[in-house]
Each structure stands twice: as C-alpha cells, then as structure tokens.
Amino acid sequence: MTSRGFALFLLFSAVARADEQDVPERKSCDERELERNRFYTDVKTHREISLTLSHKLLDALPLDEVDGRFIRAVKVCVFSQSQPTPLKDPLTLAAVSQDALRNILDLNESVIQNEEFVLCVSGGKLFPGSIPLAHRYGGHQFGYWSEQLGDGRAHLLGEYTNRKGERWELQLKGSGKTPYSRSGDGRAVIRSSVREFLCSEAMHFLGVPTSRALSLVVSEEPVWRDRFYDGNVIKERGAVVLRLARSWFRIGSLEILTRSGEFDVLRTLSDFVIKEHFKSIATNNPDKYAVFFSRVVNETAHLIAHWMSVGFAHGVCNTDNFSLLSITIDYGPFGFMESYDPNFVPNSSDDEGRYSIGAQADVGLFNLQKLLEALKPLLTSDQLSQCQQILREYSQTYHQRFRELFKAKLGFLGNQENDSYLIAFLLKLMEDTGADFTMTFRQLSEVTLSQLQTGAIPLSMWALSGLSSHEYFRDWVQLYLKRLSRMKSDSDAARQHRMQGVNPRYVLRNWMAESAIRKAEKNDFSEVTLLQKTLTEPFVEQEEAEKAGYSNKPPSWAQQLRVSCSS
C-alpha cells in the first residue's frame, strides 16, 4: 500500500471505530491509535503528507501501563504514551531545513506550502502511523543523581526509514505536557527554539555528529518565563522544533532502570540499542555489553575532541543530555567560545564552571563512569574489569583525537616530534591575548607564508593581527614555518585549501543568535534564514554573511550578553 493509501485507510477505520459504543477501559495499541486518528480527523482538511511513520520502539520496548499525561513516578517501562498539545493559532512556519526535508525525510520542498505540514511538525496533527511517546529516563545532573527526569516537553512521533535505508526518529520539542513534566508547562519559547534549530543544523554542517532540526514553528501562545531566574517573569511565545536523530536514547535511559532495579528492562533496552545501532556487534556475542561500552567510550572521546576543535561548549553535560550514540543532543545554554579561554562557561549561572569548555573531556569521563555503573548488572566481574580498563584509555583516545584535529587545523601532514608543543604554544599565546578562537585559525588558513614570514599581517586579519602583538608570536611563527617547510611536496596554496576546509569562517556566535532572535520575536525571520543559509556552508566565504558582519570582531554590545538558562 502506498503511504497515502495507508493514511486514508487509517482515517476511514477511525470513522468506523467512532460509531461503536462501548470502548473498553484498557485499550490495545491499535485501538488507541484508531482513537487518536479519530480525534485528529476533524481538525483540518484531509490532505495528507506522504510521510508514514512506524513504531518499532513501541513494539520492542515496555510501555507504561498507566494512561494519561498527569505527572507521576513511572515504573518498569521505557515509554509512556502521550499526545502532543497543539499550539495556539496562528502558527508560522519560521524556518525549515531543506537538507533535512529532502535528504532525511525524502519530502519534496513544495510540502511546506501545505497547512497540514505546519500542523504535523508542531503537534496539531499526527503524521500517518504516528503513536506519540514520551521517554522515561533519569540522570546525573551537576554531579548528583536526579531520579526520574524524562521527556517533559518532547514527544517522539515515530520512526521513518528513508530511501537510503536510514532509520530516523522524529521528535517534537515544546509540544506540551507529559507524565514527566514535573513542574514545567511542556512548552519551549521562541528564543531557545531558534537557538536549537540553528545550532543543531550548524553543527551538522561543521561535520560534528549531532541531532538535526527539520522545522521551527512559532505561535501566539503565551508562555511565561523568568529568563534569568531573578523573579522577573515575562510573557514570551511558544514554539516547536521538530528534531531528528538516529536515536534519542541517553546514558540516563539506562541509569534509571538500574537505579530502580528493573534489570529485565535494562537488558531489553540495551539489547535493542545494540541490535539497532551497533550492528557490527553480534547479538550472540557473550561480551556484547562490554564491546558496546568500549564503542561508546571511544565515540564520546571523539565527539568531545570534535567539540573542542570548533570551540563548542555544550553547557549542560549531564548524563541525561549525553547520547548513547555519541551525537550532540539537547541544545540549551551552549556557546561557541570567542576569546580563547579554557574556563569559558556558556551558562551564565554556572558559577563554579562545572561545564566550562575546558572541563568537557573530564565531564565526559564522569558520564561514562555512570554509564558503566548502569551496565554493571549485565556484566560478569571479568567484563567489568575489562570495562574499567577501557575507561582508563579514554583520556588517551581523547588526547590523540584532539591532537589530530588541531594538527589538521594547523595544516600539518604526518607526525613530527614537536607537533603537540606547537599546538600548546599557539593556544597559550591565544589565551594570553584573548584571541578569537574561530578567526585566529581561519586567518591562519588565509594568510600567506610570506606574510607570516615578513610579519606583514594585514589589519583586516583582525584576530591574527591582535595575536601577533604577543612577545613570543615571532618565535611561534618560526617554529611553525619550519614545521611546514619540512613537508616537501606541499605548496602554500594546498596548505591554505586544506586548512580552510577544517577552520570555519562562520560559527553561531551568541550575538548572531541574539540578533536573529530579537527579530524573530517580532515575526521577522529574515536573519534566522540568513544565518541558517550561512551556516550551511561555514567554510565558504559568502557575500551576504560578510555584509552582515559574521566574520567581524563581535560588536561591543555582545560583551554584555548573558545566555538565559530558562527555555
């Protein structure tokens, strides 16, 4: 049956179902699905979007026995069924990722003209086949166990397998209350939604493993927020982002099961994640949980090194914000470091700097220790000590990857004895002078060797020019030039080309996001669009982006900016 046919089938059966009289108390999944479709049938016109979702997660994993979205402690399950709460009209489709639309969901771009689409990506209507779920997880937040957390304002809509055979999970964020909402209202404001939409797409185009964002819908629904936790509550507006990831499971997804002694569910979920997402691990491998752990350790080390190489600080590296697939998820008070500073903290309330950019590798290790604790019931004592050994190698994996990435940023080929020293030396000069992280590396990719040699660095290269005032800059340049000259078959043009391919000219700086947000809050999405377009090709100089000042020294008003933590 075509997807359209399937959707219509659901609609017709929903009508038939509605005629029946006595609905039993406990409903099967199919029955609930039909009922749900009946509810949505008369919302709007019947034009369907040709995107049919499946529910492998629902079929494979235990579901909450209790129905309804009232807030509660949930036991012995991985998901609760939970319907999105539609946002209040009028809705505006503020941004769409054409890449995600076409290359992940196989949709034709004309679909965004369809009002059904806007409803489907904001929770007002369900895609055919969708049975929305809220995920139960726990987590260590700021070092301490936080009990049950869970999707408090997100709904997993189902999975889509695209024409390339990739399976993607669709999730709404800001789509209303679930059993896990605690004291929250289930909504997200425009501000945080613009940031998540822009940054997750930007990270993808920087080449960093990340969740994606399909769309951003803003509404007129009032949402009350105390932006800086200072008692000043203001009215903002609700927005919904449709996010995509191969999987949304987190370290906290396993932790809560171990903490509650639900070892059968722990095994079921771990087996599921391994079977679906770590396909090279044989399901009958007696060491499969240890192998799985080693993969997560390796990939987390790689991910954090990658963050460092683009100056990205996640801001809230709690175990509930760390993906089991080692992709970047949960964009909150993140930031791209401007002046180089290992103590850079993007969350303005994180006074002790637990999640400073320079602490991320250590926090990654802490989180992996928590993952190991969660897996412990599945491991023999031999396997456990094997895993502890793997953890001891994390730091080496991280440093090795860090070195590789920074060598590439400096244009080095091969290994030479002083490479690490050259990297550390440069970072020290940058720290001393507060050099801009992104533009220092970018301008090193654009400057010619003869300019470096003679010290004739153009003033337009503002970051490099500032750095060159350091008393040891000449010393570093001499070592750098010597290192480059040892690559016999290299040319300056080849070096510049290589370096420009890994050192972005544009990243989502806070002031840029803030400027786009101020306009978006007045229903002007032009800068969201410009930023989105710019950050799709962060390594390529673009006329419009230059005109907007995106590679300039940050404006002075940016220095007073604080990233709000309420979202």
Ligand X SMILES: *[C@@H]1O[C@H](CO)[C@@H](O)[C@H](O)[C@H]1NC(C)=O
Three-state DSSP class for residue 174: coil
Spell out the residues 6+ positions from residue 326 whose beta carbon is closer than 8 angstroms to its own: 209, 296, 299, 300, 302, 303
By CB under 6 A, the residues from 409 to 428 that bind ligand X are 416-418
Q: Are strands 188-189 and 233-245 parallel, antiparallel or unpaired?
A: antiparallel
- Minimum Å gap between C-beta 350 and ligand X is 4
Part in contact with ligand X (CB under 6 A); list of ranges 68-76, 256-264, 271-279, 344-352: 344-352
Q: Which two tokens stand for residue 255?
A: 């932790």
Residue of 7, 105, 157, 565 that binds ligand X (CB under 6 A): 565
**Cβ-based burial of 382 (10 A; exposed 0-12, middle 13-18, buried ≥19):** exposed
Find out whether 173 and 196 touch, Cβ atoms under 8 Å: yes
Which one, 13 or 141, has the nearer CB to ligand X?
A: 141
Find out whether 118 and 93 touch, Cβ atoms under 8 Å: yes
Residue of 302, 314, 407, 509 that binds ligand X (CB under 6 A): 302
Q: Which two tokens stand for residue 484?
A: 């480059």
- Minimum Å gap between C-beta 302 and ligand X is 4
By CB under 6 A, the residues from 477 to 496 that bind ligand X are 482
Run of H or E residues at 219: strand 212-226
Residue of 48, 221, 262, 330 that binds ligand X (CB under 6 A): 330
Q: Does 116 bind ligand X (CB under 6 A)?
A: no
Count of positions (residues) in the chain: 567
Residue of 9, 12, 142, 472 that binds ligand X (CB under 6 A): 142
Find out whether 435 and 340 touch, Cβ atoms under 8 Å: yes
User: Judged by CB under 6 A, how many residues of this single chain contact ligand X?
Assistant: 22
Q: Does 323 bind ligand X (CB under 6 A)?
A: no
Residue of 103, 141, 161, 369 that binds ligand X (CB under 6 A): 141
- Minimum Å gap between C-beta 552 and ligand X is 29
What whole-number distance in Å separates Cα of residue 243 and Cα of residue 228?
26
Please list, residue by residue across 26-36, b when 16 or more beta carbons sit within 10 angstroms of its beta carbon and e when fewer do: eeeeeeebbeb
Which one, 258 or 319, has the nearer CB to ligand X?
A: 319
Which one, 81 or 326, has the nearer CB to ligand X?
A: 326
CA 78 to chain CA mean position, Å: 21
Run of H or E residues at 496: helix 492-500
- Minimum Å gap between C-beta 448 and ligand X is 22
Ramachandran sector of residue 207 (left: φ over 0; alpha: ψ -120 to 50; beta: rest):
left
Residue of 67, 115, 271, 350 that binds ligand X (CB under 6 A): 350
Q: Does 83 bind ligand X (CB under 6 A)?
A: no
The contact pattern for ligand X, residues 361-400, with x = CB under 6 A and - = no contact, is: ----------------------------------------
- Minimum Å gap between C-beta 198 and ligand X is 16
Residue of 34, 316, 461, 467 that binds ligand X (CB under 6 A): 316
Residue of 83, 85, 175, 347 that binds ligand X (CB under 6 A): 347
Q: Does 110 bind ligand X (CB under 6 A)?
A: yes
Spell out the residues 6+ positions from residue 135 whose beta carbon is closer than 8 angstroms to its own: 78, 79, 150, 151, 154, 156, 180, 248, 249, 253
Q: Does 298 bind ligand X (CB under 6 A)?
A: yes
Which one, 349 or 552, has the nearer CB to ligand X?
A: 349
Q: Does 299 bind ligand X (CB under 6 A)?
A: yes
Q: State the catalytic residue, choosing from 59, 64, 230, 320.
A: 320
User: Measuring CA to CA, how many Å separate 383 from each of 189, 257, 325, 365, 396?
Assistant: 45, 20, 21, 19, 21
Cα three-residue angle 372-373-376, rounded to 5 degrees:
85
Task: Examine the residue annotation and report whether 475 is marked as an active-site residue of this protein.
Answer: no
- Minimum Å gap between C-beta 170 and ligand X is 15
Residue of 45, 108, 183, 489 that binds ligand X (CB under 6 A): 108
Q: Which residues are catalytic?
A: 320
Interface positions with ligand X (CB under 6 A): 108, 110, 141-142, 298-299, 302, 316, 318, 320-321, 330, 332-333, 347, 349-350, 416-418, 482, 565
